[in-house]
Amino acid sequence: MRFDTPVKLSELATLTGTRVLGDGSRLVSGINEIHKVEEGDITFVDHPKYYEKALHSAASFVIINKEVEVPEGKALLFAEDPFSVYITIVKKFRIFEKSEQAISPLSKIGAGTILQPGVFVGHHVTIGKNCLIHPNVTIYDHTIIGDDVVIHAGTVIGSDAFYFKRRPEGYDKMVSCGRVIIGNRVEIGASCTIDKGVSGDTIIGDGTKMDNMIHIGHDTVIGKNCLFAAQVGIAGVVTIEDDVILWGQVGVQKDLTIGKGAVVLGQSGVPKSIEGGKTYFGSPTQEAREKMKELAFVKQLPEIIEKLKR
pLDDT at 306 over 80: no
- 180-220 pLDDT, tens digit per residue, is 999 999 999 999 999 999 999 999 999 999 999 999 999 99
CA distance 188 to 239: 18
CA distance 232 to 247: 7
Q: Which of 131, 242, 243 is nearest to 188 (CA)?
A: 131
Residues in CB range of 107: below 8 A, 6 or more apart: 121, 122, 123, 124, 125, 126, 127
Residues 137 and 269 in one domain: yes
Q: Would 100 be classed as within a structural domain? A: no
**Which CATH number goes with the domain that contains 154?**
2.160.10.10
35 classed as catalytic: no
Q: Which of 16, 75, 93, 81 is nearest to 45 (CA)?
A: 81
**How many domains does the chain divide into?**
2
**Which CATH number goes with the domain that contains 27?**
3.40.1390.10
Peptide bond between residue 82 and the one before it cis (omega within 30 degrees of 0): no
- 104-124 pLDDT, tens digit per residue, is 999 999 999 999 999 999 999
Q: Single out the residue in 70, 93, 116 at which a domain terminates.
A: 93
Task: Specify which residues 144 forms β-bridges with.
Answer: 126, 181
From 134, 142, 215, 218, the catalytic residue: 218
Residues 168 and 85 in one domain: no
Whole-prediction pTM: 0.92
pLDDT at 302 over 90: no
Q: Which amino acid is at 137?
A: V
Residue 207: count other Cβ atoms within 10 Å of its Cβ.
18
Would you state the torsion angle of the CA atoms of residues 124, 130, 136, 142, taken in this order, to the nearest 10 degrees?
-20
Portion of the chain with pLDDT greater than 70, in percent: 100
Residue 137: count other Cβ atoms within 10 Å of its Cβ.
22
What per-residue confidence (pLDDT) applies to 301? 77
Per-position DSSP letters for 124-163, written without gaps between them: T-EE-TT-EE-TT-EE-TT-EE-SS-EE-TT-EEEEPP--
Residues 226 and 126 in one domain: yes
- 255-272 pLDDT, tens digit per residue, is 999 999 999 999 999 999
Residues 168 and 21 in one domain: no
Q: Would 297 be classed as within a structural domain? A: no
Q: Would 300 be classed as within a structural domain? A: no
Range of the domain at 14: 2-93
pLDDT band at 249; cut points 50, 70, 90: very high
CB 221 within 8 Å of CB 204 = no
Q: Would 175 be classed as within a structural domain? A: yes
